[in-house]
Amino acid sequence: MSKTRVVILFGGRSAEHEISLLSARNVLNALDRDRFEPMLIGIDRRGQWHLESERTLAGATGNPRGLALDPAAPAVGVEAALVQSAPAAAESGDTVVFPVLHGTFGEDGTVQGLLDLADVGYVGAGVLGSAVGMDKEVAKRLLRDAGIPIVDFVLVTAAGFARDAQAALAPAARFGFPVFVKPSNAGSSVGVTRVRDGDGLGPAVRAALQFDRKVLIERAVDAREIECAVLGNDDPQASIPGEILVHHPDGFYSYDAKYVDAAGSSWKIPADIPPATAARVQELAVRTFRTLELSGMARVDFFLEKTGPSPALYVNEVNTIPGFTAVSMYPKMWEASGLSQKALLTRLIELALERRNARRVLKTGT
């Protein structure tokens, strides 16, 4: 039986470039080589595509800040990189792209649109779900309208802040302090600041605006970080929930706490929460997945208040291409739910082909 070619697409132009390399390494290592033939394509920080060897990912461990693509890898055009999208290959169903591109220009629908145009199957959400999931402000509005609980926030745009910074920040006064400032379109806590007083609010917004033209100021919640993995297309399933325990001096689940400081965070799966709360997390995770038009995979992140007789549960955000690093929660939660990393990747590839084949039967004209 011929093997399905799996194009692992990684790197990218986002601030999460290095994390993508760590995720790609683990995807490569966990892939079932009896069924799948890997092909590595790296996108450098300038947006050029390169054919990479497994050597590129061999050293992708530890502190991600020093990671880079192989500078000697041959550059290829996008057309050459996607040569398997030719009609003969597409009809055989033997090529799937596994995008491990976290953040902008990868998780936001841009690459997904390119692959749809080329009629290539790929793992994860489509253009709409990817774009909505990436934009925290749009996602929060959709979730709020669907009756799914979110933490209150204020939107600040680059144009509004430049025109009148004081007026742009004024609506956030109702939250008091601390607050969290974050880019609307970013991940891995890039550009996120915990602001303790009014003097820090303007600088935090300026820092976040380096990564996006929309910034959220969000009410701080004294909460536990609960996560849940979702897998599927039309019939999504939720994993056992897990919990992130933060030990880093930042005081929240920052980039350094996630990836740089080995002792910055730990995890607990299953999360130490009552069965009724775990069931509520799973229910909201699936509802969020459906509301945002997601498919394939997503990690849904929650805040669970630490105090009160009935602690409030909020959906924080979704990740449509969740991390697949050695410390990433998405594969770990599925392992705890009985699905090995190898089986998980196989299922994701099957879902990608299922979704592509379903699109192909749709009429495109009269």
Residues 203 and 338 in one domain: no
**Domain edge (last residue) among 219, 251, 273:** 219
Residue 108 lies in a domain: yes
Residues 285 and 172 in one domain: no
- Give the percent of the chain with pLDDT over 90: 67
Please check the confidence at residue 240 and state whether its pLDDT lies above 70.
yes
Per-residue 3-state assignment (H helix, E strand, C coil) for the chain = CCCEEEEEEEECCCCCHHHHHHHHHHHHHHCCCCCEEEEEEEECCCCCEEEECCHHHHCCCCCHHHCCCCCCCCEECHHHHCHHHCHHHHHHCCEEEEEECCCCCCCCCHHHHHHHHCCCEECCCCHHHHHHHHCHHHHHHHHHHCCCCCCCEEEEEHHHHHHCHHHHHHHHHHHCCCEEEEECCCCCCCCCEEECCHHHHHHHHHHHCCCCCEEEEEECCCEEEEEEEEEECCCCEECCCEEEEECCCCCCCCHHHHHHCCCCEEEECCCCCCHHHHHHHHHHHHHHHHHCCCCEEEEEEEEEECCCCCCCEEEEEEECCCCCCCCCHHHHHHHHCCCCHHHHHHHHHHHHHHHHHHHHCCCCCC
Residues 227 and 207 in one domain: no
Residue 360 lies in a domain: no
**Domain edge (last residue) among 173, 193, 219:** 219
Give the whole-angstrom CA distance, residue 346 versus residue 31. Answer: 8
Reported as a single tens digit per residue, the pLDDT across 172-213 is: 999 999 999 999 987 657 789 999 999 999 999 999 999 999
Kindly report the CATH number assigned to the domain that includes residue 77. 3.40.50.20
Residues 261 and 140 in one domain: yes
Residues 258 and 138 in one domain: yes
Please check the confidence at residue 88 and state whether its pLDDT lies above 50.
no
Residues 34 and 92 in one domain: yes
Residues 140 and 272 in one domain: yes
Strand partners, 226: 243, 302
Residues 242 and 286 in one domain: yes
Residues 72 and 12 in one domain: yes
Give the whole-angstrom CA distance, residue 212 versus residue 270. Answer: 34
Query: Which residues, other chains included, contact 46 with Cβ-Cβ below 8 Å and sequence gap of 6+?
Result: 13
Residue 310 lies in a domain: yes
Residues 92 and 112 in one domain: yes
Residue 241 lies in a domain: yes
Residue 361 lies in a domain: no
Reported as a single tens digit per residue, the pLDDT across 101-118 is: 988 889 999 999 999 988
Kindly report the CATH number assigned to the domain that includes residue 328. 3.30.470.20
pLDDT of residue 343: 97
Please check the confidence at residue 87 and state whether its pLDDT lies above 70.
no
Domain that includes residue 173, residue range? 153-219
Residue 49 lies in a domain: yes
pLDDT of residue 310: 87
Q: What is the pTM of this model?
A: 0.89
Residues 138 and 245 in one domain: yes
Residue 366 lies in a domain: no
Kindly report the CATH number assigned to the domain that includes residue 210. 3.30.1490.20
Residue 365 lies in a domain: no
Query: Which residues, other chains included, contact 193 with Cβ-Cβ below 8 Å and sequence gap of 6+?
Result: 180, 181, 182, 200, 204, 207, 208
Which of the given ranges, 55-59, 84-88, 130-134, has the highest pLDDT on average? 130-134
Q: How many domains does the chain have?
A: 3
Residues 201 and 233 in one domain: no
